[in-house]
Structure formats: C-alpha cells, structure tokens
C-alpha cells in the first residue's frame, strides 16, 4: 500500500471533536446572519461558509490556529513552513496563499507589500469565531479574495461579565499564557486580553545541513507578546461605536541553512479599527469603518565562515509597512423583503524593505460596489444575489468584478447552492521590486480569475457537506527558475485551471462516540507545463474520533493526511500525522479544565516544506516537521 493510499485509509478510520448535536449544526452554515455583520448581511449567498466557534477552538485541543483550521475546514491546507510563528503556506480549494483574503472583524489584514499575513496576529483567546468563506468574494471584499475569505471575529461583550486565564506547556519546550476579561460599565462594554508565547523550537534540518561554524543551537525559537482591547459604546438604539486595538511584539528566529550564528526578526505590529453603525430607520442601516495597520520589523544576521571570519550582512535592517483604509456602506431593506447593499472603499499603503532592497511609495486604491438580493414571494426558500464592483488600482489598472449567487432550501434537511463570478489580485510590491532572493519584475500584470462553486448540504443525524469548484486564473504570478539558483517572479504563460471537490461528514456512532471526516481534491495545473502549481497538494484529508465518557471527560484520536506537492523543484508532503488527547473538567461547575495533547503521535519524520536555495544557500533543503510533542493546558473560567 502506498503512503497516499494509507493516508486516505487512516483518514477514513478516525476524526473532529464536536461535543453536541448543536455543535455539529454550527460547523458549516450558509448565509447565517450575526449581529455584528453590520451592512454585510447574507452577502455570502451561494457560497459555503464554515464557522468555527470559540468553543470549537478550545475543543480542538490546540493553540495553533493553523491546526484548528486544518481540523474544521475541508479543502484548506495550512502549513507552517518552519513551525509556529513563521511563514505559512495556505491553499483553499487549489489556491495559493495570495489568493485568500484575511480579515479581522471584516477589515483587511493582507498587506500590499507581501500579500500574505501571519496567523499569530490575533491572540486565540480573543477569537469569538472564524468564518471561512469559499469561492470568489471579490464584489464585497476586492483584491485577493479569489479563492475565498477567512474572517477572524474578535470577542466582545456577550451580555454578562466573564473572563478566562489559560496556561500551557509542551515538550519542545514551549510556554504559553494568556488571559481575557469582558464586562459592562453603564453604556460601555469592554474586552481586554493579553498573552505571551515562547518556544525553544525544534531542529528543522538534518545535522549535515548546518554549517560546522554556526552556533550549537540548531533549533528555531520565538517569543511573542500580544495585548488587545475592544470597546463598544451603545449610545442609544440607533448608534453603536466599536474600537479595537491590538499590539504584537516579538522576537522570532529566522531559519537559515548556512553559516549563520544569528538570524532573527524583532517585530512590532499595531492593528486598530473603528466601526460606527447608525440604524437610520427600520429599513436603512449605515456603517463607517476605518482601519489602520502598522508593521515594523528589524532583521539582524551574523555569519561565520570556515576560517572563523565573522560578517554582519544585516543589523537592525528595517522592513515594514503602513496601511490605512476606510469603508462607507449602506444596507437598505425594501418593503417587499429585498435587500440592497452598497459601499465605497479607500486603501492607502506604503512601506520599505532594506533586506530585499526596495521602497514602496504611497499607493492609493479606490473601489465602489453594490449587491442586490431580490425577494420573490413565489420562491420563499430561495436566496439570490447579484453584485458588481469597480476597482481603480492605478491610472493604467482598473478592474471590474461581478458575481451571481443562489442558495435554495429544498426542505428542513437539504440545501443546494451555487455561485459564479470573477476576481483579481494585484502584484505585491515584493513581486514587483525585490532585488534580493526571488527577484521582482516591474512588468507584472494583475492576476484575473473566473470561478464557479456548487454545493450540497444534508443536515440530520448525520451532517454531510459536498462542495465542487472550478477556477481559471489568467496571468498567474509565479517564481520562475532562471538557472544558476536565480529566481524571478513572472506571469505564467497560459492559464492555470483549478478544479476539484471537498467533502465533510459528521455523525454519531453512539451517544458518546462521534466521528468526523473531511477530504479534499484539488487539481491546479499550469497550461504551459501541465504541472501542479507549487505548494498545492492534490489530496488532503483529516479525521477525528471523539469519545465523551462523561460530562467531565472526553478522549480523541485524529489523523491528518497531506499529499505530495512541489516546492522549489523538490517534492514535499505525502505524509500522515496522528494526534491524541484528552480534556477533563476538574470541577463540577466546569470552570477549571485540564487538557493533554500528543501531536505527531508516532514521531514520524516528514518533509514539511523546502528551503529555497540561492542567496548563499547552495541547493534546496528539505525542512522537517515538528517531532512528537506533548502539550498540557490548564484553563480557569470566571
């Protein structure tokens, strides 16, 4: 039996932790309306939306957001290239990381400099839920929403005072601690949180790949501190004002597979947004949002050659950006039950990178959009939406985006849905201007795409969701090997066609024994070479078996399969990882909980990614995944 076949078999035998039938119903929802959606009510009609609640995050037995997403979102591949707090490869239904738009409370998180984001931006204790919306969402959200959107909703006051303290330790060793409190004073509600995370890390390459002149410490560690607050003022029934601010400060070692004796980033990030909502009357809601993000990082590197000569290529070299944006939107409900959503956006970016040797001058983007959701008395169980968006990216680059979506409830158990549309992604400043590592290309054109998504859901004692997708990308931007270890970004010749499907199943074998299974297939082929695009596995799978032995104690066992994928010319992936854990409420009031988790249960040695050669590294190197890791977590709720 091949490793691929064995992985799929394991995924069929085990699966995700859900503690009740109610939780099962909340795993995948479609077009659900939340109070703090603001004007964007039901904008995802026709799309599959997976909602991961804060309870599900706790039940997952992990403090790593990437592992949480892998458990609950079929068709999503999340791979930290060198462990936690590092660059992460994401693929949603055959996409690349740049094709997924990340939001915090509906505000854009992706940065114009690099197009990516870091999941350590938000303290997991501050997360109320995570919404993963599949399929093109460019009408409402603009650039980068080609394959979907991941929206992290932060906690806010829930009608009663509450708080939590959490501490965890693992065998790497790593240490995490955090706390949050939420309360109300007169018309003000506030939520405050703080967390710290520190790890010695693990050795990410075999011994022979480290220079004998480098430091004896071969592990990649980090330290990250996070402080955040959310304040809501409900002046009256018409006005609501919310302010969110978060500060991240960290020191992160950067893995280098050559003679570095020091390589690290000192990082500080400020994330803030202001949200004002005005309910003008029963039919009209107005909303204004302003967001600000500042990222300041300083990179230092010291090397030592075989003769003992010490060099300092970089010391406190700056790379970072500022991002400010505003959105004004309106939601109008007609007397017949139809809905109009319209808005205008402004985004401004600037940044620089002294390591990659480029400067990003101020860049302004403008957009306007409208979506119409008609209501027909003859179709009471059918939701329809049609939308259009105009984007002015520059004088020479303007993009129109359109979409059509439909969700139909056949009965109380069956639902069908579908969407069709197009999207776009701007080239990042790094892709345009980088002078070190993978070289930039100022002649790059924006990527454009067309997409179709179809879905079917059955909601009963067993929950089944099936989604199929088709996506065609023009001018896909990809790193090209020019020879002699020189790489440059170029628009791919010909189209890149992606198609596939993912399935999600949750069922109860007995009242105490629950089983969940998900699997994804994604074919993302370049027309010019016939090869799968880099860092996109063709097959993924995850399963988990949960046994609730009593109200206080449950056990679980899980298996994850990642198919092989190409990364800088070498093959990575094609592995199976098993995990196990238990959770126990220490008190009858269920205000103290102890959790034990074992990741990589069988201590499998896997190739998680490939370290790019060039820039002093002579050849690509296989990067290893984390070894077997024991983790213990304690939570106190009040």
pLDDT tens per residue across span 611-623: 876 556 677 888 9
Distance CA(212)–CA(230), nearest Å, equals 49
Predicted pLDDT of residue 20: 34
426-440 mean pLDDT: 89
Specify the pLDDT at position 65: 85
> Residue 11: is its pLDDT beyond 70?
no
The pTM is what? Answer: 0.91
Q: 176-199: per-residue pLDDT in tens?
A: 999 999 999 999 999 999 999 999
Domain boundaries, the chain: 18-538
- Top CATH class of 18-538 equals mainly beta
> Which of 179-183, 377-381, 436-440 is predicted least confidently?
436-440
Q: Which DSSP helix (H) or strand (E) runs through 10?
A: helix 3-13
What span, in angstroms and rounded, lies between the C-alpha atoms of 78 and 89?
6
The β-bridge relationship of strands 496-508 and 575-585 is unpaired
Q: Residue 613 has what pLDDT?
A: 62
* Alpha carbon distance 92, 286 (integer Å): 32
Cβ within 8 Å of residue 411, ≥6 positions away = none
Chain-centroid distance, C-alpha 343: 25
321 has which bridge partners? 295, 351
What distance in Å separates the CA atoms of residue 461 and residue 467, rounded to the nearest whole number? 20
- In this structure, what DSSP letter does residue 56 have? H
16 pLDDT above the threshold of 80: no
Among candidate residues 88, 102, 148, 115, the one with its CA nearest the CA of residue 426:
115
The β-bridge partners of 594 are 584, 634
Average pLDDT (367-373) is: 98
pLDDT above 90 (res 361) = no
Separation of alpha carbons 357 and 335, rounded Å: 57
The one-character DSSP state at 428 is P
Reported as a pLDDT band with limits 50, 70 and 90, residue 539 is: very high
User: Is the separation of the CB atoms in 468 and 457 below 8 Å?
Assistant: no
- Among 296-300, 317-321, 371-375, 614-618, the range scoring the smallest mean pLDDT is 614-618
Whole-number pLDDT of residue 305: 80
Q: Token pair for residue 469?
A: 């997708």
Per-residue pLDDT band for 30 (boundaries 50, 70, 90) equals: very low
């Amino acid at each position: 039996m091949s490793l691929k076949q064995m992985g799929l078999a394991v995924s069929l035998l085990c699966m995700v932790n859900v503690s009740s039938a109610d939780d099962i119903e909340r795993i995948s929802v479609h077009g659900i309306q939340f109070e703090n959606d603001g004007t964007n009510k039901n904008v995802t009609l026709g799309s599959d939306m997976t909602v991961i609640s804060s309870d599900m995050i706790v039940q997952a037995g992990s403090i790593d957001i990437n592992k949480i997403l892998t458990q609950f979102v079929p068709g999503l591949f999340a791979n930290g290239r060198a462990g936690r707090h590092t660059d992460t490869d994401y693929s949603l239904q055959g996409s690349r990381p740049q094709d997924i738009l990340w939001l915090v409370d509906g505000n854009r998180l992706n940065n114009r400099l690099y197009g990516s984001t870091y999941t350590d931006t938000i303290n997991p204790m501050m997360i109320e839920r995570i919404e993963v919306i599949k399929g093109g969402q460019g009408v409402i959200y603009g650039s980068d929403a080609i394959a979907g959107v991941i929206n992290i909703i932060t906690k806010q006051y829930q009608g009663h005072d509450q708080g939590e303290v959490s501490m965890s330790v693992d065998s790497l060793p790593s240490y995490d601690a955090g706390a949050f409190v939420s309360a109300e004073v007169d018309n003000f509600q506030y939520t405050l949180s703080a967390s710290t995370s520190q790890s010695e890390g693990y050795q990410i390459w075999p011994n022979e790949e480290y220079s004998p002149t480098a430091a004896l410490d071969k592990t990649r560690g980090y330290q990250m501190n996070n402080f955040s607050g959310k304040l809501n003022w409900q002046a009256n029934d018409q006005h609501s004002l919310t302010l969110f601010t978060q500060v991240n400060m960290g020191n992160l070692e950067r893995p280098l597979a050559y003679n570095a004796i020091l390589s690290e980033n000192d990082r500080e990030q400020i994330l803030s947004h202001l949200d004002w909502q005005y309910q003008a009357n029963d039919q009209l809601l107005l909303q204004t949002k302003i967001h600000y993000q500042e990222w300041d990082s300083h990179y230092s590197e010291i090397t030592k050659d075989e003769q003992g000569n010490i060099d300092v290529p970089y010391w406190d070299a700056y790379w970072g950006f500022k991002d400010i944006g505003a959105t004004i939107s309106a939601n109008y409900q007609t007397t017949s039950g139809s809905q109009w959503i319209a808005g205008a956006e402004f985004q401004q970016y600037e940044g620089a990178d002294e390591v990659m040797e480029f400067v990003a001058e101020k860049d302004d983007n403008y957009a306007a959009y409208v979506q119409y959701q008609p209501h027909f008395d003859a179709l009471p169980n059918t939701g329809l939406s049609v939308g259009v968006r105009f984007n002015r990216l520059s004088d020479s680059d303007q993009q129109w985006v359109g979409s059509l979506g439909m969700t139909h409830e056949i009965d109380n158990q069956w639902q069908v849905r579908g969407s069709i549309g197009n999207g776009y992604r701007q080239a990042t400043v790094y892709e345009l201007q980088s002078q070190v590592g993978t070289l930039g290309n100022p002649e790059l054109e924006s990527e454009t795409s067309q997409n179709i998504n179809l879905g079917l859901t059955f909601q009963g004692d067993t929950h089944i969701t099936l989604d199929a997708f088709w996506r065609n990308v023009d001018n896909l931007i990809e790193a090209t090997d020019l020879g002699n270890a020189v790489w440059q970004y170029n628009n791919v010749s010909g189209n890149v066609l992606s198609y596939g499907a993912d399935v999600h199943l949750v069922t109860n074998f007995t009242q105490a024994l629950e089983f969940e299974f998900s699997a994804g297939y994604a074919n993302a082929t370049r027309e010019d070479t016939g090869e799968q695009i880099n860092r996109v596995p063709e097959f993924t799978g995850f399963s988990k078996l949960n046994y609730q032995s009593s109200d206080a104690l449950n056990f679980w066992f899980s298996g994850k399969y990642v198919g092989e994928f190409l990364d800088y010319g070498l093959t990575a992936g094609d592995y199976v990882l098993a995990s196990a854990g238990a959770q126990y409420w220490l008190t009858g009031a269920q205000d103290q909980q102890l959790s034990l988790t074992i990741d990589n249960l069988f201590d499998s040695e896997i190739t998680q990614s490939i370290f790019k050669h060039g820039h002093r590294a002579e050849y690509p190197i296989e990067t290893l995944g984390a070894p077997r890791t024991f983790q213990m977590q304690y939570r106190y709720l009040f």
